[in-house]
Homo-oligomer: A and B are copies of this chain.
Amino acid sequence: MTMQFKIYKEPELKDPYMVTGLPGVGYVAKLSADYLIKELKAELFEEFYSSSFPPYVLIKKDGTVELLKNELYYWKDDKLKNDLIIFTGNTQAISPEGQYEISNEVLNRAEKFKVKKLFATAAYVTGRHVEKPKVYGVATEQELVEELKKYEVLPMDAGSISGTNGLLFGLAKLRKIQSICLLSETPGYMTPSGRVLTDVKSAQALLEVLSKMLDIKIDMKPLEKEAKMAEEFVQKMEELERRWAEEMRRSVTPPPKDIYI
């Protein structure tokens, strides 16, 4: 595995917290991290490129290309208490080894900036639609589990958290970084072509808790608007994707045809 790091800035940060959120089911974690970045006008300071990312590039609206990458943003706290580092990206490593390696790179940064607490975000797939998604929490220490109750975060007592979102949270413990993982309910519905819908409502529930824990104020209105737009968009998409799925079935790259072994 090879990684490339593109450093734009070396910020000086005061007792920073770290929030992490990569794309996963319902894009709950990714939406939460993105919304924080947008509302706080957080600044990009480093990008990761890795050969463990999926082997493709994205096409942007303006016709230019976007590489798959993970990103680190920072925000200076107005109240001079706890600055913020936000880790997100447009992809996750596809191999387990890549997910471990990237988690460790992020935690190297957490140690370097002396992060006081790490807040990982994730989705809690329930398989059913809910009016008001509940937020669950797990922590690296018993003391933090108690603290979660103050924010009406529901405790968990079994299961597993997978992917980079879960590893980042868990591996923090090995480095003695206090860490909390917030998981927000999402149905995990898929479109007919196998795409999981973006769940803005779930991200909203998560952000309400997270903003209280970080003691920052963010305007939830734009997210609500986005939630509505997302739902309309999703309906249009579904129709398009149903047609695509039909066509794609005939166009998968074939395996090499070996006849002598």
Q: Which residues of A contact B (CB under 8 A)?
A: 1-2, 4, 6, 24-25, 49-67, 94-97, 99-101, 104, 122-128, 136-142, 145, 148, 155-167, 169-171, 173-174, 179, 181, 183, 187-190, 193-196, 241, 244, 246-248, 250-261
Contacts and interface: CB of A to CB of B under 8 A. Distances in A.
B259 A125 contact: yes
A169 to B, nearest CB: 6
B59 A159 contact: yes
B160 A57 contact: yes
Nearest to A122: B260
A162 B260 contact: yes
Contacts of A194: 254-255, 257
A50 B171 CA distance: 11
A147 to B, nearest CB: 11
Given A59-B159, A65-B138, A160-B258, 19 more contacts: A2-B97, A24-B253, A25-B253, A25-B261, A51-B101, A55-B96, A59-B160, A61-B157, A62-B142, A63-B139, A63-B142, A65-B169, A124-B259, A124-B260, A159-B258, A161-B260, A187-B250, A188-B261, A244-B257
A189 to B, nearest CB: 6
Contacts of A183: 260
Contacts of A122: 260-261
A139 B96 CA distance: 32
A251 B166 contact: no
